[in-house]
Amino acid sequence: MIGLFVGFGLLIGILFGFFGMGGSFLVTPMLLVIGYPAPVAVGSGLAFVFGTSVIGALRHRDHGQVSYTLAAVMILGMTFGIEVGTRIVFLLADLGGADFVISAVYVGLLGVVGLVVFRDARTDGTEVGTGRVATEVQSIALPPLVSLPGGATVSVWVILVVGSSIGILCGCLGVGGGFLLLPVMVYGFGIPTAIAAGTSIFQISITGAFGTFVYAQSNAVNIPVVAALLVGSALGARIGASATRLVNESDIKGYFAGMLLAGSVATASKQVSAVYGIETLETASVVLIFVTAVLVSAAVVHTSVNSFRKDREDGSPRTH
């Protein structure tokens, strides 16, 4: 089992460094599927987020892909939200409905965000729709305002509200919020995808530390599991972060959507198997999570290698 967690950590590390997500959107459902209690799955997911995000943030910093101003404001909002979300989880656990509620929210969020990003990737950017959302967000000119990479100017109050909302979900679901932060920054604030990924990782390192501390106080963090996952992810995060400089932006969105949709289907299968006692579905949910992580990680590495070779043949490095 430890070897399995190390291997899974390597795969998640690659995806984490590539997408700017801590990987807990896969780790937490995986632990739920295996049979860990909801608070432990959530707490361990946040602890894993903290460890991987520190590694990935350093790598993205080296590439100049972090907006520290945006990260600082978002962290303030998310820290407050995580505290609220954590209290909600333990309240649901006391009422006996934590597993079902958390899984149901996972299915809905991963599915909706995954479909939106997939549609955007298939249409090569949907600049009209993306631009409309960013324009509406930027039209809320309530001072003070913050200038962001890509030329956008957004109200600090808007960022705080968004950060608090995502923080509540992070505290409830045991995620760093990367699968929500990335779309918000790209579609809502108009930030380039690579910078959004780096900024997401940086702020997740801070909020993940806070969330881990809160859950650890209630002994809801499985240290051996987290340690095994971190061993594998240490190398994977550096590989994934480097890959963002080599892969086309629409490809990044496509891989991202695939991971979200797979997580949604796997979590849904687990819940259906629990309700109706269909063991085949429970097995299928575990297999789906692992197979998807393997396939997408392999695709990321393969595409990066091909892009690197092409750049060397052309004699000019690509920048995204």
Q: Would you write out the chain's pLDDT as a tens digit for each of its 320 residues?
A: 777 778 777 877 777 667 655 565 677 777 777 778 878 887 888 788 787 777 777 777 777 778 888 888 888 888 888 888 888 888 887 887 777 777 777 778 778 877 877 777 676 554 444 566 667 777 777 788 887 776 778 888 888 988 888 888 777 776 656 667 777 888 778 788 778 878 887 877 777 787 788 888 888 888 888 888 888 877 777 777 677 666 666 676 677 777 778 777 877 777 777 767 777 777 787 777 778 777 877 777 777 777 777 767 766 554 44
In a domain, 188, yes or no: yes
pTM, full prediction: 0.58
In a domain, 138, yes or no: yes
- Measure the CA–CA gap between 200 and 37, rounded to whole angstroms: 28
In a domain, 289, yes or no: yes
- Domain coverage including residue 114: 2-314
State both tokens at 266: 């796997």
In a domain, 319, yes or no: no
- Residue 174, pLDDT score: 61
- Measure the CA–CA gap between 202 and 305, rounded to whole angstroms: 26
In a domain, 241, yes or no: yes
224, 2 in Cβ contact below 8 A?
A: yes
State both tokens at 246: 């080599």
DSSP per residue, the chain? -HHHHHHHHHHHHHHHHHHT--SHHHHHHHHHHHT--HHHHHHHHHHHHHHHHHHHHHHHHHTT---HHHHHHHHHHHHHHHHHHHHHHHHHHHHT-HHHHHHHHHHHHHHHHHHHHHHHHHTTT-HHHHHHHHHHHHT---SSEEE-TTS-EEEHHHHHHHHHHHHHHHHHHT--SHHHHHHIIIIIS---HHHHHHHHHHHHHHHHHHHHHHHHTTT---HHHHHHHHHHHHHHHHHHHHHTTTS-HHHHHHHHHHHHHHHHHHHHHHHHHHHHT-HHHHHHHHHHHHHHHHHHHHHHHHHHHHHHHHHHHHTS----
In a domain, 320, yes or no: no
Domain count, the chain: 1
Residue type, 277: G
- Residue 248, pLDDT score: 66
- Residue 20, pLDDT score: 58
In a domain, 94, yes or no: yes
In a domain, 13, yes or no: yes
- Residue 127, pLDDT score: 47
65, 252 in Cβ contact below 8 A?
A: no
